[in-house]
Amino acid sequence: MKYRAIKGVRDLLPPEVNLWQEVESLTRRFFASYGYREMRPPVMEFTEVFSRSIGETTDIVEKEMYTFHDRAGRSITLRPEGTAPVVRAYIQNHLYTLPSPQKYYYIGPMFRYERPQKGRLRQFHQIGVEAFGEKDPRMDAEMLDMLRGFLERAGIEGLTFEVNSIGCEVCRPAYREALLGFLGEELGSLCPDCLRRYRVNPLRVLDCKAEGCRSLRERAPRIGEYLCTGCAGHFEALRGHLDALRIPFRVNQAMVRGLDYYRRTIFEVTSEALGSQDAVAAGGRYDRLVEEFGGPPTPALGFAIGMERLVMLIMERRGVKEPVPEVYFVTIGKEAEALSFRLASEMRGRGVWVELDYSGASLRSQLRKADRHGARYAFIIGEEEISAGVVRYKRLSDGEQGEVRIEGIYRFLGVE
RNA sequence: GUGGGCGUAGCUCAAUGGUUAGAGCACUGGACUGUGGCUCCAGGGGUUGGGGGUUCGAGUCCCCUCGCUCACCCCA
């Protein structure tokens, strides 16, 4: 084989692609009732759009971005996530002049240079939503409600909803200091990975799977105790609203986000059926990002759903059904071939899926092909049928056959 | 970036260091001249991922390399 696809990307083929189409159409229908409209930002941006928002020291920016220089020497990056481009577009197109809140969704590919594994690709796809201009915690709850409803409608079960508040620029530094102080006394019992986390992103130590670090977590200071009154009140209200909407959730004080722009609410939806990369969807608030991008102060929040992971879960639950042709023409003789050629064109024009056989092979061979294609009906035409002005139909599921006049084909098929 | 597992026909897999690398499924045709599925028969299809080495002899053993996959890391 001369060429292969690049590592970590894949071809999306039928019948799986049918499932993707279903998911996309559910997205459009379902999100619309929450007032979300589609936005289609480009798949590439100036590199700073990502490095300034996601955080210079995050893994994504440090080692996972597809970055290159265009012919004018500018640094361009294939989007590793969707929020930053949408925020950029929100500001550039003055969408903040429209009545708040402004709610948008997008569907499309993201790119991260990582080692592929189950549920993790270098080109993957997200359904993302962003809502701008509303700080009320009911907006957070509304968004989780939409996410919950969407996943339910997609037919997925056994999901865990976790929420947390990581505070704001006022209270988070205080917690960070407290945690650093605590961990500084315990460096001896940290695993090698956590020694690195201690320097880079200490909050992540709480998330460690190693035995020693886990027991440390019990005694570590908790973010909940360090939230300022604003953040604490916001979080408490959110929990109340989630209860009111009967959204089952768990508070996970160890939950951390990998992107720097998050403030206050963060959340994650996971499934045990996914393997090690178990997050189906995740998101949170980013109340300062619009301002940092040069827009007016605008509270905002959003989430993204991993489409590959979502489709994996749906496939596991109900598989994929392959659509089949309605009619497969089987002909004997030139005259019959010509007739079926014309008929097929007309039928297709009326929306019937018709397949033709150009092989000129034996009747049995043509019928076998009709069967292999999974067609519902074989339409058989030979000299007898032509002189009688009929087609002979054979229902492939049970072999029942008979004749139908050519004018009566559509009624026979239940078309119109 | 690190570690484990696996690379033989389109797919799933056999083959103790020893003939010309096989089977099932799939594909094409026939048995069955205008009736599919079931059965039987036949046919096409291979650089055993690639390179080097050991050996009288390598799909099999050794080294390198590439790919896939799972996990770590990180995340959707």
Q: Residues of A from 130 to 189 whose C-beta is within 7 A of strand B: which are they? A: none
Ordered alpha helix ranges (H), A38-127 = 47-54, 59-63, 83-92
What is the model's pTM?
Answer: 0.91
A127 touches strand B (CB under 7 A): no
Q: Is the CB atom of residue A376 positioned under 7 angstroms from any atom of strand B?
A: no
Whole-number distance in Å between A364 CA and B32 C1': 9
Instruction: Kindly determine whether the C-beta of residue A335 is less than 7 Å away from any atom of nucleic acid strand B.
Output: no
For the segment 202-221 of chain A, residues whose CB is within 7 A of strand B: 204, 207-210
Q: Which nucleotide's C1' sits nearest to the alpha carbon of A63?
A: B1
Q: Which nucleotide is nearest to A54 (CA to C1')?
A: B75
Say which nucleotide is closest to residue A367, CA to C1' distance.
Answer: B36
Q: Is the CB of A337 under 7 A from strand B?
A: no
CA distances from A53 to A70, A134, A175, A294 (A): 22, 20, 22, 12
Indicate yes or no: strand B within 7 A of the C-beta of A2. no
Closest protein residue to B34 using CA and C1' atoms?
A: A363
The residue lying closest to nucleotide B76, measuring its CA against C1', is A306
What ipTM was assigned to the predicted interfaces of this complex?
A: 0.86
Q: How far is the CA of A366 from the C1' of B64 (A)?
A: 52
- Cα angle for residues A139, A143, A149 (degrees, 5° grid): 140
Q: How far is the CA of A14 from the C1' of B31 (A)?
A: 36
Contacts of A1-4 with CB under 8 Å at 24 or more apart are none
Q: How far is the CA of A53 from the C1' of B44 (A)?
A: 59
Q: How far is CA A342 from the centre of its chain?
A: 43
A261 CA from B47 C1′ (Å): 54
Contact A10, A4 (CB under 8 A): no
Long-range CB contact pairs, A367-370, < 8 A, 24+: A367/A330, A367/A394, A369/A328, A370/A328, A370/A330, A370/A396
What chain A holds in terms of domains, given with CATH numbers, is 16-171+227-318 (3.30.930.10), 327-413 (3.40.50.800)
Q: Spell out which residues of A between 84 and 123 contact strand B, using CB within 7 Å.
A: 112, 114-121
Distance A121 CA to B23 C1' (A): 36
CA of A3 to C1' of B56 (A): 40
Nucleotide nearest to A306 (CA to C1'): B76
Q: Does any strand B atom come closer than 7 Å to the Cβ of A277?
A: yes
Closest to A261 in 3D by CA, of A54, A120, A48, A38: A54
The three-point CA angle A28-A98-A101 to 5° equals 60
Nucleotides of B under 7 A from a protein CB: 1-3, 26-30, 32-37, 67-76
Q: Is the backbone peptide bond immediately before A116 cis, with ω within 30 degrees of 0?
A: no
* B29: residue with closest CA to C1': A365
Residue with minimal CA–C1' distance to B28 is A365
ω before A101 within 30° of 0 (cis)?
A: yes
* Residue A391 approaches strand B within 7 Å at CB: no
Residues of chain A with pLDDT below 70 are: 1
Residues A353-388: pLDDT tens digits?
A: 999 888 778 888 888 888 888 899 999 999 999 999
Q: Whole-number Å distance, CA A1 to C1' B13?
A: 22
pLDDT digits (tens, 9 = 90+) for A9-45: 998 888 889 999 999 999 999 999 999 999 999 999 9
Whole-number distance in Å between A109 CA and B14 C1': 42
